[in-house]
Copies of this chain bind each other. A is one copy, B any other.
Amino acid sequence: MAARPGAHVCGIDAAMTVIGGKWKVLILWALHDGTRRFGELRRLVPGVTEKVLASHLRELENDGIVRREVHDEVPPRVEYSLTPAGVALNTALAPLSAWGRDHAMTAPAGRRIHGVTLIPRPPGRLVVVSG
């Protein structure tokens, strides 16, 4: 249906392109408190496969959300962190998170999209509870 790249003017359209992936927001939340390695992200986002995690990280990198630093060492080490745009995106997601938290209590919510649930803690840690 008319695939026309880069044609979104409405901001939500662009934002949904970025966070539309199944695990994108979980990756963003896992990165919001600093630098993470690939293996750490894999453990922080339980259920995601390595292929999908790698491809999502590439997409986020192309979108300018995460920064990817490759250290040329003998055990290969790659570090991921949020760019300023990524930090801003996380900030922009905060009211949505607040709405969901307020609304999830009152709504029946018979459906779900992820199957995993993550609980952010104020000091900066992230607790992930697999479904």
Could you list which residues of chain A lie within 8 angstroms of chain B, going by C-beta atoms?
1-20, 25, 29, 47, 59, 62-64, 85, 88-89, 91-104, 106-120, 129-131
Among B9, B14, B106, B131, the residue within 8 A (CB) of A64 is B106
Chain copies in the assembled complex: 2
Quick check: B16 and A25 within 8 Å, CB to CB? yes
A25 to B5, Cβ gap below 8 A? no
CA distance A7 to B104 in the complex (A): 10
Identify A99's interface contact among B11, B47, B97, B119, CB under 8 A.
B11
State the CA gap A71–B129 with chains docked (Å): 45
Shortest beta-carbon distance from A112 to chain B in Å: 6
A4→B118 CA distance, assembly (Å): 14
